[in-house]
């Protein structure tokens, strides 16, 4: 992982932050290669993606993780029950019906105990220092922060445009015709509790389409690191090239 803080410091920070993993999506783009499993259990070699995710969070010093589940939730619940992590307190909430990335937060809200909440997509990985992300969030005064990463081609993901103060100016929609380098939304967010509660009470379904475009106070924390989104058969097939070197570096 990128340097910048000790492991002990990381544990002190992340142990006080509840982490919500959004993993309720239908994974329709993966049905051809993953017909009967949720995305978060997609195999990377012989290992489910969820195992890499839990290793990453434990290594970063996380303490409490809440999974927001939907499609084939029972499979994920069984995996979590059979593969307990001594470093993590894990809980799960099952959506009664698909609710979107903002709507899912309404179901996990009763489980939240921390003053700051880290929310992350359950189908992406970014080799980033989450402690540095928390520090940057606090240094900027809190509110909302988004983790961004630079890619040589952002056409598949859309582009995050910043102003001179490091605030998000615009979220440009993905456009296959608009190739080239830029910043993307890495799918990891920090919300102060009052903002989290505001989102929960808004009735919105999507963070990306309904919440973020209406706010002008979103701070971007830009990192350099390997990024992975396992949402397509092609990206899933290439996932081992990123995840296996990460796991080997940390002795697992």
CATH number at residue 95: 3.90.550.10
Is residue 1 included in any domain, yes or no?
A: no
> What is the rounded CA–CA span in Å between residue 165 and residue 81?
44
What does DSSP assign to residue 214? G
Which residues of the chain are under the pLDDT cut of 50?
A: 1-12
Is residue 206 included in any domain, yes or no?
A: yes
Domain that holds residue 203: 7-249
Is residue 2 included in any domain, yes or no?
A: no
Q: How many domains does the chain have?
A: 1
Is residue 91 included in any domain, yes or no?
A: yes
Is residue 90 included in any domain, yes or no?
A: yes
The pLDDT score that the predictor gives to residue 215 is 94
The whole-model pTM stands at 0.92
Enumerate residues 6+ apart whose C-beta is below 8 A from 158.
171, 172, 173, 174, 175, 184, 185
> What is the rounded CA–CA span in Å between residue 191 and residue 176?
31
> What is the rounded CA–CA span in Å between residue 77 and residue 57?
18
């Amino acid at each position: 992982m990128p340097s910048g803080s000790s492991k002990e410091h990381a544990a002190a920070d992340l142990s006080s932050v509840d982490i919500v993993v959004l993993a309720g999506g239908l994974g329709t783009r993966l049905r051809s290669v993953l017909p009967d499993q949720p995305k978060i259990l997609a195999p990377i070699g012989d290992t489910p993606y969820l195992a890499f995710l839990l290793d990453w969070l434990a290594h970063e010093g996380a303490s409490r993780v809440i999974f927001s589940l939907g499609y084939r939730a029972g499979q994920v619940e069984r995996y979590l029950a059979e593969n307990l992590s001594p470093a993590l307190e894990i809980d799960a909430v099952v959506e009664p019906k698909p609710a979107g990335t903002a709507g899912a937060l309404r179901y996990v809200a009763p489980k939240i105990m921390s003053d700051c909440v880290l929310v992350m997509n359950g189908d992406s990985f970014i080799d980033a220092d989450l402690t540095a992300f928390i520090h940057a969030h606090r240094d900027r005064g809190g509110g909302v922060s988004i983790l961004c990463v630079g890619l040589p081609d952002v056409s598949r993901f859309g582009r995050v445009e910043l102003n001179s103060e490091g605030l998000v100016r615009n979220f440009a929609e993905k456009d296959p015709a608009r190739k080239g380098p830029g910043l993307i939304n890495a799918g990891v967010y920090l919300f102060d509790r009052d903002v989290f509660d505001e989102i929960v009470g808004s009735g919105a379904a999507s963070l990306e389409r309904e919440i973020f475009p209406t706010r002008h106070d979103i701070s971007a924390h830009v990192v350099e690191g390997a990024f992975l989104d396992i949402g397509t058969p092609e990206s899933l097939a290439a996932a081992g090239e990123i995840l296996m070197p990460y796991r080997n570096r940390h002795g697992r």
